[in-house]
Amino acid sequence: MLHRLPNIFTRSLFLLFALLFVIGSLMSCSDSSTKKNDQANEKSDLPQTAIKAGKYIILDTRTDQGDRATAKKNAENTLKKYPSLDAMVGLWAYNVPQCLEALKDVGKEGKVKLISFDEDELTLQGIKDGHIVGTVVQQPYEFGYQSVKYLKALVENQTVDLPDNKQLDIPTKVIKQENVEDFWSNLKSLQKLGQQANNSPRPTEGHYFAFVVNLPDPFWSYARAGCYKAEQDFNLVCDFKIPHDGSSTEQNRILETLIQKEGLAGIAVSPLDPNNQTEILNKVAEKVKLICHDSDAPESNRLFYLGTNNYLGGRQVGKLIKEALPEGGQIMIFVGKMDVLNAQQRRQGLIDELMDKPISG
């Protein structure tokens, strides 16, 4: 009898291991099923607007029509609806400052990555404080200064060397915590130059131009400084015009009024709705020299575009997202209006960068 005990013991161990294997398999199937169900539920929670871009999911693009209260409400609603959100990306200057305010209200600053466009002072402070990853900045001072300089050259029939695409690019810069202080200091110097020029007696003779922007925003204060400095440097007059309600209707009214003014020789404009402003822009181009800045209207008879290559700027925003979220994540995009070309180009550049698409041309 005793000599059979080892066999019984061996068979018992075998049965025990077999039973553990079966239990483990069942648990594995259960975990796999649960994981699949979780993934299915996660997918079902995504909006139909969601875009899969490599390792990233762009949930949607929220617009606010240039209204800051709406911009903050968009941010608040996003945080409520998507508690697992990884990043908020703003494509216009005021978007990320509003996102930061919404995050502060719920004590989540620093927990959701913020990536911005433009050099709003609240953004720069947020970068300095470590709440914002970084921002891709334009050079609005140069928008103002160079627009006036080129309009003067056009009126005086000087040769303006243009690339085949009729786009004069003003380079962007990437600002992060390590260079924000130097950049901000330089901005203040440019503002001081503009204030000094503005405090000087305005020229009463010389060419008369107008610089028309898209909506009220601190961003444009730097362009205004550039215009004022150009007035002094080139001895001419440049009116600075803002559609205070941020609408194309108001912008069109400003353009109509300007071309009735005696002596006006040229206009630089950032079109709010280029697809639906071709008629008014062509009317302006018949009367005076017309160029676009900041956002283009390539189907119009404008002479050329001066400003940021917004597509490449969007690619730089995408690179900042990759640095902040190397393993991927869920992203919400915020912008004022999607019918403006600069918004379309920045967004597309961002998406293409996250998808690792090659840059053509």
What's the half-sphere exposure (Cβ side, CA atoms, 13 Å) at 189?
A: 6
Residue 36 has pLDDT above 50, yes or no: no
234-248 tens-digit pLDDT: 999 999 999 999 999
Pairing of strands 173-175, 134-137: antiparallel
Mean pLDDT for the stretch of residues 28-43: 45
129-181 tens-digit pLDDT: 999 999 999 999 999 999 999 999 999 999 999 999 999 999 999 999 999 99
How far apart are alpha carbons 347 and 258 in whole angstroms?
Answer: 32
Instruction: Pinpoint the residues of the chain covered by CATH 3.40.50.2300.
Output: 140-181+201-307
Whole-number Cα distances in Å, 266 to 155, 206, 235, 286, 353: 8, 12, 15, 11, 37
Instruction: Name the CATH code of domain 140-181+201-307 (choices 3.30.460.90, 3.40.50.2300, 3.30.2010.30, 1.20.120.1200).
Output: 3.40.50.2300
Residue showing tokens 């390792």:
55
Read off the pLDDT band of 42 (50, 70, 90): very low
Looking at residue 37, its pLDDT comes to 44
108-126 tens-digit pLDDT: 999 999 999 999 999 999 9
Looking at residue 337, its pLDDT comes to 94
First to last CA, the chain: 88
Q: Phi then psi for 114, rounded to 5 degrees?
A: -120, 125
Looking at residue 79, its pLDDT comes to 97
Name the residue among 119, 150, 158, 121 with its Cα closest to residue 135: 119
Looking at residue 47, its pLDDT comes to 87
Residue spans of alpha helices (H) in 46-166: 68-81, 95-105, 121-129, 140-155
Looking at residue 283, its pLDDT comes to 98
55-109 tens-digit pLDDT: 999 999 999 999 999 999 999 999 999 999 999 999 999 999 999 999 999 999 9
Mean pLDDT for the stretch of residues 215-221: 90
Read off the pLDDT band of 38 (50, 70, 90): very low
188-211 tens-digit pLDDT: 998 888 788 778 888 888 999 999
Instruction: Pinpoint the residues of the chain covered by CATH 3.90.190.
Output: 51-137+310-354
How far apart are alpha carbons 50 and 17 in whole angstroms?
Answer: 47
260-283 tens-digit pLDDT: 999 999 999 999 999 999 999 999
Which residues does 207 contact at the CB level (< 8 Å), separation at least 6?
151, 152, 155, 234, 236, 237, 265, 266
CATH number of the structural domain 51-137+310-354: 3.90.190
Residue 361 has pLDDT above 80, yes or no: no
Mean pLDDT for the stretch of residues 327-356: 96
Residue 31 has pLDDT above 60, yes or no: no
Which residues does 212 contact at the CB level (< 8 Å), separation at least 6?
241, 242, 243, 251, 254, 255, 258, 267, 268, 269, 270
Pairing of strands 113-117, 56-63: unpaired
How far apart are alpha carbons 247 and 67 in whole angstroms?
Answer: 11
CB-based contact 147:292 (threshold 8 Å): no
